[in-house]
Amino acid sequence: MLGRPIVIAWKELLQLRRDRMTLAMMVVLPIVQLLLFGYAINTDVRHIPTVIYDQDRSAASRELAQSLRVTGFYDLLGEVRSYVEIENALRSGRARAALVIPVSYAANLRTGRTSQLQLVVDGSDPQTVGSAINTASGLVAARSSQLMLAQLSRGGIAPVGGAGLEPIRLEPSTWYNPELRTAVYVVPGLIGVILTMTMVMLTAMAIARERERGTLEQLIVSPVRRVELVLGKILPYTVIGYVQMSLILLAGRLVFDVPLVGSLQLLYALSFLFIAANLALGLFFSTLAKTQQQAMQMSFFFLLPNILLSGFMFPFESMPRPAQLIAQGLPLTHFLRIVRGITLKGAGFADVSFELVWLGAIFAALVLLTSLRFNKKLV
């Protein structure tokens, strides 16, 4: 008997059509979030504004500065003449790093003594520090070995390996997201975050609204069964969830060039369980909330641990054990692995089946909890 759920779903859509604000939010929100997260949350540090304090002022020192610039990690803002100027540049935020080349740099190169280069980094942003130091030391290591080899060959000692001689190079290799662009990582995750946010909130509010306006009692005295009511409420929001998901995927493709390596059909099929779990959670919240405002607050309260713990912002592996345990109970944690697996790595059903089991278990638990709470008989 699917008649009544459809009647209820149709009513929800009619109401939604008149609620322009909510409707706009559901379409605009994913796009705004996508741009926000895609552009603003950039954990790969490139173009660090850098000043050079070249005490040596030699051809060799200028060459070193140039090699720093061409990596793309540093933007050379210009030269400074003293440590005071470095401090001014860092404190004002004009620069985030400064390279100090000592007076004896060129001379030391010639005589084969070690030069001490100094990299001053603004430590107020730890992410910049790590990135700047890593790149610089890698660069300097490569450069020094290059120089060393050059010196050796100049000194007449035949290099091992003869003509094919190459300076030792550090070759970092990253798979799946070779340019380490954050957007590629963030956008698929964002599908999960947006779905969590809207699905939980919309369903929680959909029932709370009926309770607040007194129409729920009218439904309770009608022959509508619990499961029919729940189905009718869930149906339209599932459709909205898929629309949002498609929007994010499309915008991610167009704006951030996010690849889709795996099967789109598989992604859509598996997302159903995730959407369903979130809707069930929204319904559960609605059984607790007396007003729409409470429902909204609960949804927001739920969203925060999702963003922080699920692996959306911070790697799951680096979290302490208790946080990991909590995260296992969040649908988003598992969906993130599924969606990243499919879009970035081309994972198949078998690869993500373990996460599916988790999602299924969470969904079943929520449905059980909700039906226990959602008592159709009023007291």
Where do contacts with other proteins occur on this chain (CB under 8 A)? 3-4, 6-8, 10-11, 14-15, 18-19, 213-215, 217-225, 376-379
* Closest separation in Å from C-beta 21 to other proteins: 12
Region label for 156, one of left (φ > 0), alpha (ψ between -120 and 50) or beta (otherwise): left
* Closest separation in Å from C-beta 5 to other proteins: 10
Question: Which class for 313: exposed (0-12), middle (13-18), buried (19 or more C-beta within 10 A)?
Answer: middle
Which residues neighbour 120 within 8 Å (Cβ) at sequence distance 6 or greater? 86, 90, 97, 98, 99, 100
Question: Which class for 172: exposed (0-12), middle (13-18), buried (19 or more C-beta within 10 A)?
Answer: exposed
Nearer to other proteins among residue 162 and residue 223 (C-beta): 223
347 closest CA partner among 267, 247, 252, 253: 267
* Closest separation in Å from C-beta 226 to other proteins: 11
* Closest separation in Å from C-beta 6 to other proteins: 8
Nearer to other proteins among residue 3 and residue 315 (C-beta): 3
Q: At what angle do helices 264-288 and 292-309 cross, to 10 degrees?
A: 130
Nearer to other proteins among residue 7 and residue 372 (C-beta): 7
Q: Are 106 and 59 in contact (CB under 8 A)?
A: yes
Nearer to other proteins among residue 22 and residue 145 (C-beta): 22
* Closest separation in Å from C-beta 4 to other proteins: 6
* Closest separation in Å from C-beta 331 to other proteins: 31
Cα–Cα distance list, 180 to 84, 185, 189, 339 (Å): 35, 8, 15, 18
Kind of pairing between the strands at 48-54 and 74-79: parallel
Nearer to other proteins among residue 161 and residue 214 (C-beta): 214
Nearer to other proteins among residue 216 and residue 296 (C-beta): 216
